[in-house]
Structure 1
């Protein structure tokens, strides 16, 4: 029996995930618009045999805080991900590309065409991170008076994914004959119009691009709310999530996989990939010194802006940084799952305001592990072997420095334990993730009718 292997993704946040990473000498300070930086990072992740590189995205500047915090913000300028991945696919051979796109603010036909194109350009390495967009300050970019509420956004998302999959099935896999001798280019009987009419969308189709090499680009989802877990159980093939304890991660793993049966799906068809932000040192003392250096770079105004969404409408600049928050609210509407984790942590640990924003500064509430390669591999192995993770979304605190350290020091330790590959297994992202290639729904329907 083949031993189960860890799946690893590199979650790329321009200069790195730490909120002050852009100030660190190990970062590329203009990375948001530096294609050479992204080429280096993608090739490093491929050298480390990662399954995929992932970038989050938002259709607007989602920063909250005063002008003092804004002027110190290093994440206000960055590439659109599908365009970026098309460029990077030309300088890599194996690694997959996960691009975020919003079901709230995009059009399903145009999105289906973009991702099908990316899958062809990359020869089967594209993936779509399905988001509904939690930021409530981008609606004005799209002519809307308000951000839709979560229930409506997720209802729309379910239908959106259904439409996109249908469009990817417009041509059957063997529709294109391309026979110069006979003069026949393709078989029109294997072209299908979608003719979708639903609550949110009316899309005729067909897509003007043949079926993607993977059938469908891999579909991922991020979110741990009830609506998010339901969307993942119904549609996703991997889910990004944020937990800081083994027990919480195990509960989430059981919960989301337990929902899949009602959608006719098996647990192994969904990979659970918690975020981990590793601070790697050759000794524990070195790792802790690296972490302390990063934390020292946080300006208080930037730290307060990081926790401001949990206290909407409150002027946090008046608070004593070294005292606990004056009060702990309920989770604000629209960011329930992450807010609940953070606010419960503040209650349980009795954090001061400074300790809370320092906690969030590393990876916005994801799991930060500070230690040696052996210590970090120990923690990853514990989660992987005890029903908490199928792999990890690695979130380097500083880029490119932290990713280089992970690839050079932690990956060999995982390989020595037999937990991680020593060579890519397949040609497409699906093959490397161990996911099935979906059949064409129109062709399957015709076979069943016959």
Structure 2
């Protein structure tokens, strides 16, 4: 067995996330998967049987009629994960909560509660809310600008972590003979006053067996990488090639090291679409089939505006040059992605139609082939230090079953994937240290 082991996450998109509007048409998938707790429990148990580290629940709080089907009707992450906590024993439970539209005390309490309910398996995916329309759902006229969102996020995470240190591990003797329930010397008040938040504390819940929930973060901008390097235990990303993966891996680990953190305690898990077939060509046929079945130009055009603050692109002539002025609507949204799209359209001379088509065209994945091919490619990327594991998109049910039943055993034979859980907490599964208590 190699010292390092591949880490696996299951990223659920219910009845169809971005670029997969028509996933819900698959008869093997409940049409209401995104709000069907029985489906989530089944997926979590399949992932746990395959010794996955975690199940990952994405979230956002603003929709339009053009949003993907999963976004239109889905369960709130921590409510869902609390149900999964009592339906599983080992798998980590990671939920998305925004720092832009949640108070630190509330986030700290809800996640600490999930961590105790699950006996130390909770994780927090930190996001800053790229959907600018979310502001209107929280009584604000405008979304926070890019720099403010990340400044708030840094302080928000700092406050939440300090609240998780309100009690020392042995603060509750619960001695019935002496009548001593709490050792007050081991209770610590926060009294935080910062640029964005003022929080007195302490938090009214004890520490969990893993000390505190594991922090996850995704972001490819400079601010996003800095936030991940400073605060995250696990970083999500996307890499089209092993070279891109290695570059990102080196960059975020170096940023963490410059901040005095152990880079081996910062894990990188890119998202991955995996298609398994009887042969490599059969797998490519499956990939092509689902790409066509799950996509359409009309739905892609509606979704196209998301990176641009849900700007309505249907108002433009599809065959006129790409409207570069639309980039202004992305200033408080997913600006990094929007600028990449606009720059690409300018450099290639794309019309709006061509820009949408370019975005939705099939880009053959790196992890597509027979079970043997997929396992070998995953091991190659892992051993090349392009990543520490994979966050696998859960789409069509038979593909997830093929991965767990055919690919996982091959990874185990190679010695790069566990044959049993190392412990009971998410930190133990991921090989992460318990944070030391700091008052």
Give the TM-score normalised by the residue count of structure 1: 0.88
Q: Is 1:413 aligned with 2:403?
A: no
Shift of 1:287: 1.8
Question: Which structure 2 residues correspond to residues 11-50 of structure 1 after superposition, within 5 A?
Answer: 11-17=11-17, 18-50=20-52
Q: 1:127 to 1:164 in 2, by over 3 A?
A: same
Partner Cα distance (2:371, 2:15) in 1? 22
Question: Which structure 2 residues correspond to residues 234-383 of structure 1 after superposition, within 5 A?
Answer: 234-297=230-293, 298-309=295-306, 312=311, 314-315=313-314, 318-319=317-318, 326-327=321-322, 329=324, 332-333=330-331, 334-339=333-338, 352-353=354-355, 355-359=357-361, 369-383=367-381
Deviations 1:251-303 (A, max 9, x none): 11111111113322011110011110112212223323322332333232112
Alignment-derived partner of residue 56 in structure 2: 54
Q: Does the residue aligned with 1:407 lie in a helix, a strand or coil?
A: helix
Shift of 1:411: 0.9
Deviations 1:402-433 (A, max 9, x none): 32221112111211211111110111000110
Q: Which moved more, 1:381-390 or 1:105-114?
A: 381-390
Q: Does the residue aligned with 1:213 lie in a helix, a strand or coil?
A: coil
The structure 2 residue matched to 1:188, chosen from 142, 159, 184, is 184
Partner Cα distance (2:8, 2:323) in 1? 35
Q: 1:278 to 1:245 in 2, by over 3 A?
A: same
Shift of 1:111: 0.7
**Contact 1:253-1:387 at 8 Å conserved across structures:** yes
**Contact 2:297-2:357 at 8 Å conserved across structures:** no
Shift of 1:434: 0.3
Deviations 1:150-201 (A, max 9, x none): 1001001111111111111111001110111111111011111101111111
Alignment-derived partner of residue 446 in structure 1: none
Partner Cα distance (1:73, 1:54) in 2? 18
Shift of 1:216: 1.2
Partner Cα distance (1:270, 1:149) in 2? 28
**Contact 1:278-1:397 at 8 Å conserved across structures:** no
**Contact 1:14-1:75 at 8 Å conserved across structures:** no
The structure 2 residue matched to 1:111, chosen from 83, 107, 114, is 107
The structure 1 residue matched to 2:98, chosen from 102, 105, 111, is 102
Partner Cα distance (1:186, 1:348) in 2? 67
The structure 1 residue matched to 2:424, chosen from 424, 427, 430, is 427
Query: Unpaired segments of 5 or more residues in structure 1?
Result: 443-450
Q: Does the residue aligned with 2:174 lie in a helix, a strand or coil?
A: strand
Query: Unpaired segments of 5 or more residues in structure 2?
Result: none
Task: Please report the RMSD computed on the Cα atoms of aligned residues, expressed in angstroms.
Answer: 2.5
Give the TM-score normalised by the residue count of structure 2: 0.90
Partner Cα distance (1:84, 1:310) in 2? 27
